[in-house]
Amino acid sequence: MKIRIGILGYGNLGRGIECAVKQNDDLELAAVFTRRKPDTVKILTEGVGVYSVSNVPEFKDKIDVMILCGGSATDLPEQTPEYVKYFNVIDSFDTHANIPKHFNAVDAAAKASGNVGIISVGWDPGMFSLNRLYANAILTDGEDYTFWGKGVSQGHSDAIRRIEGVKDARQYTVPVPSALDAVRNGENPALTTRDKHTRECYVVAEEGADLDIIENEIKTMPNYFADYDTTVHFISEEELQKNHSGIPHGGFVIRCGKTGKNGENKHIIEYSLKLDSNPEFTSSVLVAYARAAYRMSQEGQSGCKTVFDVAPAYLCRESGEELRRHLL
């Protein structure tokens, strides 16, 4: 009996989930749900239906874990507490400041229904959070550093696209190599926002647009760019398609800490990701946690969980005995 997975929302993340499910023999895709007209959505998996979100409740006994692929701003705060009434659910809620509120809403609904909801799964929050936690638990006297990139920031790319005269744009967040080196060398540097990352923008302008005005608007945009060293490159639509159509990302979580009688010994723990496709990697994490949600639910657990609450063994298909033999 395979674990039956549902996908709610078929964008980059939904498509990534579909591919990740195929890589795991113990999982099967049961259905895809969309807010669009179902017959306009073509999926990769033959024989699996696409349904309107209004039909979700009918699948109560046909899906073991529903993976919610909506956005954190407006979709997930409503969807996760709603759908955990019917299924075990997984989301990738990533608005760090609102996690406590989201947790409480999902926890109440999940406990009432007896299902498991695992929130904020992915790589940050997600694998990066886990590595921050493990490193903090081990090196209690130390400093944390997180760097992101090199990678495409969807939010920053969107912000550039909203500027008048901009046809399309791609923004890369890039860690500053000298800052990364100082951290790795255990120098425990104090780093400002500007010290840690630069922002590289590739912009396609409308014909006749004033490039100086666009560049200035980008570089002075509060929150998004003003606090960073930002470079703007104007390129053609063809070049954007050819060289900047991927969605790579990644980053580094580093903790430097001291041990010993007088803190005389230094230790550096580093975790890094280099990802060709941000949504496909995130999907692969979500699918592993879907397996965990199913197993925890089968054991009678319920309520809201995060990656901090999931024992690692739940993520793998193999038995505890196999894991101890091959991976420990």
The least distance separating its own copies from the CB of residue 319, rounded to whole angstroms, comes to: 11
The least distance separating its own copies from the CB of residue 138, rounded to whole angstroms, comes to: 5
Task: Map the chain to HEC letters.
Answer: CCEEEEEECCCHHHHHHHHHHHCCCCEEEEEEEECCCHHHCCCCCCCCEEEEHHHHHHHCCCCCEEEECCCCCCHHHHHHHHHCCCCEEECCCCCHHHHHHHHHHHHHHHHHHCCEEECCCCECCEHHHHHHHHHHHHCCCEEEEEEECCEECHHHHHHHHCCCCEEEEEEEEEECHHHHHHHHCCCCCCCCHHHHEEEEEEEEECCCCCHHHHHHHHHCCCCCCCCCEEEEEECCHHHHHHHCCCECEEEEEEEEEEECCCCCEEEEEEEEEEECEHHHHHHHHHHHHHHHHHHHHHCCCCEEECHHHCCHHHHCCCCHHHHHHHCC
The least distance separating its own copies from the CB of residue 284, rounded to whole angstroms, comes to: 5
**Which range of residues in 1-9, 33-41, 171-179, 274-282 is near its own copies by CB under 8 A?**
274-282
Tell me if 284 contacts its own copies by CB under 8 A.
yes
Return the residue of 61, 141, 212, 238 that touches its own copies, per CB under 8 A.
Answer: 141
The least distance separating its own copies from the CB of residue 271, rounded to whole angstroms, comes to: 5
Residue 40: count other Cβ atoms within 10 Å of its Cβ.
Answer: 8
Spell out, one character per residue from 229 to 268, where the chain touches its own copies: x when CB under 8 A holds, - when not. ------------------------------xxx--xxxxx
Tell me if 321 contacts its own copies by CB under 8 A.
yes
**Which range of residues in 15-23, 56-64, 80-88, 201-209 is near its own copies by CB under 8 A?**
15-23
**Which range of residues in 67-75, 82-90, 162-170, 272-280 is near its own copies by CB under 8 A?**
272-280
Spell out, one character per residue from 96 to 135, where the chain touches its own copies: x when CB under 8 A holds, - when not. x--xx--x----------------x----x-x-xxxxxx-
The least distance separating its own copies from the CB of residue 9, rounded to whole angstroms, comes to: 18
Integer Cα distance of 129 and 58 in angstroms: 35
Q: Tokens for 17?
A: 């989930």
Return the residue of 44, 73, 112, 226 that touches its own copies, per CB under 8 A.
Answer: 44
**Which range of residues in 79-87, 163-171, 225-233, 314-322 is near its own copies by CB under 8 A?**
314-322
The least distance separating its own copies from the CB of residue 324, rounded to whole angstroms, comes to: 6
The least distance separating its own copies from the CB of residue 37, rounded to whole angstroms, comes to: 24
Integer Cα distance of 110 and 86 in angstroms: 9
Size of the site for its own copies (CB under 8 A): 67
**Which range of residues in 147-155, 156-164, 224-232, 303-311 is near its own copies by CB under 8 A?**
303-311
Q: Which one, of 154, 92, 133, lies nearest residue 253 by Cα?
A: 133
Query: Which residues make up the interface to its own copies (CB under 8 A)?
Result: 16, 19-20, 23-24, 44, 96, 99-100, 103, 120, 125, 127, 129-134, 136-141, 184, 186, 259-261, 264-277, 280-281, 283-285, 288, 306-313, 315-316, 320-321, 323-325, 327-328
